[in-house]
Chains A and B, each alone.
Chain A
Amino acid sequence: MVQVPTRSCYPITLLGRSLDGAAPEVCRTTLYFPLIMNAIEIRGLEKSYRVYQKQEGLLASLTGLFQREYRDVNAVKGIDLDVQKGEFVAFLGPNGAGKTTTLKLLSGVISPSGGRATVLGHVPWERENSYRRKFALVMGQKNQLWWDLPAQESFKLHQQIYRIDSQKFNNTRDELVDLLDVRNLLGQPVRELSLGERMKMELTAALLHSPEVLFLDEPTIGLDVIAQHNIQKFLKHYQQVRGITILLTSHYMKDIAALCKRVVMIADGEIMYDGSLEGIIDQFSGHKVLTLQFAEERMPSDLSHYGEVLEIVEPKAKLRVERGEIAGVLSSVLASHSVADVSVEDPPLEDVIADLFKQSTNKQAETKAAAAQATIGK
């Protein structure tokens, strides 16, 4: 069987003689082996844009009619990232960190101010139809379906837009609506669906053309816990079965913990961290939580010597202790007090991330204030 070379294969040519050795001609066979390649490659990607800077009050509004002041916002500041085919990667970061901007860049909605990126070998902002048929973008807060018509009509339109063969379309649609359990809602106008049902329909519409890359921008925003869980379950299953590449942004840690092995943390337009979710604690948390249960009748009063006291509920005390000092603290506590039980734990992931976000948001606010000051000074 002759295998057709594709972008994802590399050729190897085998040379040899026929088995009897008599024939002098050389047998030539070319085999194509699948090559694990990056679905997404980003190098030094930058995006900055100008925003109108208006001072407070009517007078400023009038002045603004003639002379406008703008401020440059660097939403993405030269990021590098490789995502392999079949990876499920989460973008984590505070509001305004550049997550959505990056997704918009990769889906070709916006073009960058600098740097380059390829998705499946295409430059996204060239917006070739061949690329647009290979990916999908789902934004939790934007609606792609026809508001007044049942979702099945929008699906039909997608079938034509993406040139999906009838048989394949029917199979994919049936599979998706069964997985998402929305078959009985196909004939209901979209405006009459609940938010969770609508999101399921949005996902179905986005996946009808079997995209190789899927960008999800907060797909579970505003959904209740059950709906969130259903969407997570579906995404996990679909990604595992189809092996597609997914980039997800979400504020819900549970989404990320349930779905992604790899987390890319973006703050202030830069990548702060790229690795596993658990790795965030190792890298960013410099302390551990030490819980002591005392056997003595009276709790020791000098606990603050050992570390920051987080909580005391007699006979238990929780202390925040620097990672490097944990062994020393523990041995000195055990030497001077009678302790019934001890546990040393990492701080909760949410807390570590919240701290990180707070730091980066503060930094961002300072930069903004400085820029605004500079504009006023001009």
Chain B
Amino acid sequence: MVARVQTWWTILKICLEERLVYRGDFALGTLMRFLPIVTQIFLWTAVFASAAGNTIEGYTSETIIAYYLLTMLGRAFSSMPGLASGIAKQVREGEIKKFLIQPIDLLGYLLLARIAHKLVYYTVAAGPFALVFYLCGDYFPPFPGMQVFTAFIISLLLGFALGFFLEASMGLVAFWFLEVTSLLFVYMLFNFFCSGHMFPLDFLPEPYFTLVNFLPLKYLAYYPAAIYLGKVPPEELWQGLLIETGWVVFFIILSRYLMNAGYNRYSGFGG
């Protein structure tokens, strides 16, 4: 166990170092992600100006901006840029062999690399995030209390795990198709609408709202924001997190299954 923890720690350290090699590009990329905030604020202000009442589906022009900022935070945990396409590239170019030859677990390794990626990202983005949240402080409702806040933090962490294993499963499909760009495009499109990234899911008419509620995608952006803004009734809070955990377990099992089946296919196919 000690040896295993040491391995994880070394992988984490090396991945951190690697991330820092292209620090200029990374910092610029991170900062650029904050630009859309301005356009979003203008957009929603315009939408509410033309709306009949002060609220749309329970959201005021203030809470919608708070919602948007919170989904941004949620996506900072759950989005996995380059994960699936990276796996596909490794399969296509044969680098995946390394994981067949060396005593190292592909998913465990990728998870650690991703944690390192995120840690560097949070370090770079912490300042801008703090600034934006400070400037937009007036849009937020009062602090929701420790219980809701804890649930919010847990939902962010679960969102990370869900995003990772979901997208890893997507990438592992490359063992069968080699190229997964189109699949990823379709997934991103669904993700954009069904995770609540584009607009709060409450805006969806029935039966779409119920349908989207059954999907795991809402946990990637909508759910943490909804928890923080008090849209999730307290009695449903833990049940919701339990279902999210269920989805995480499902995708852990699915990705592991796909990895092993993929290895077998790869080795049978010719390497």
List the interface of chain A (C-beta within 8 A of B): 47, 49, 75, 101, 104, 107-111, 125, 127, 129, 132-133, 136-137, 142, 144, 146, 148-149, 153-154, 156-157, 159-163, 189
Contact = CB atoms under 8 A, between A and B. Distances in A.
B95 interface: yes
B100 interface: yes
Contact of A142 (B95, B263, B266): B95
Contacts of B22: 148
A161 B102 CA distance: 8
13 contacts: A75-B270, A107-B100, A109-B100, A127-B100, A132-B102, A132-B103, A142-B97, A144-B98, A146-B18, A156-B14, A159-B10, A160-B11, A163-B3
A148 B21 contact: yes
B103 A162 contact: yes
A157 B18 contact: no
Contacts of A110: 266-271
Given A109-B97, A111-B268, A132-B101, A160 B7 contact: yes
B17 interface: yes
Listed from nearest, the 6 A-B pairs whose CB atoms lie closest are A49-B270, A160-B7, A129-B103, A160-B10, A132-B103, A110-B271
Interface of B: 3, 6-7, 10-11, 14, 17-18, 21-22, 94-95, 97-98, 100-104, 263-264, 266-271
A107 B3 CA distance: 25
B101 A108 contact: yes
B7 A109 contact: no
B95 A153 contact: no
Nearest to B7: A160
Given A108-B100, A142-B97, A157 B14 contact: yes
Given A127-B263, A146-B14, 19 more contacts: A47-B270, A109-B271, A110-B268, A110-B270, A110-B271, A111-B268, A125-B267, A132-B101, A142-B94, A149-B14, A149-B17, A149-B18, A153-B17, A157-B10, A157-B14, A161-B7, A162-B102, A163-B3, A163-B7
A234 B120 CA distance: 40
Contact of B103 (A111, A156, A161): A161
Contacts of A101: 270
A156 B17 CA distance: 13
A111 B271 CA distance: 9
B2 to A, nearest CB: 10
A107 B100 CA distance: 9
Nearest to A131: B103
Which secondary structure dominates chain B's binding surface? helix
Contact of A109 (B3, B10, B14, B267): B267
B20 to A, nearest CB: 10
Most buried by A among B17, B21, B101: B101
B114 to A, nearest CB: 16
Nearest to A163: B3
A156 B98 contact: no
Contacts of A189: 21
B101 to A, nearest CB: 5
A146 B7 CA distance: 16
A144 B96 CA distance: 10
A341 B97 CA distance: 59
Contacts of A47: 270
A113 to B, nearest CB: 8
Contacts of A159: 10
Contacts of A132: 101-103
Contacts of B266: 110
Contacts of B11: 157, 160
A161 B104 CA distance: 6
B6 A133 contact: no
Most buried by A among B17, B94, B271: B271
Contacts of A127: 100, 263
Contacts of A104: 271
A132 B98 CA distance: 11
Contacts of A129: 103
A154 B6 CA distance: 15
Contacts of A125: 267
Contact of A149 (B3, B6, B21, B267): B21
Contacts of A49: 268-270
A107 B267 CA distance: 11
Most buried by A among B3, B266, B267: B267
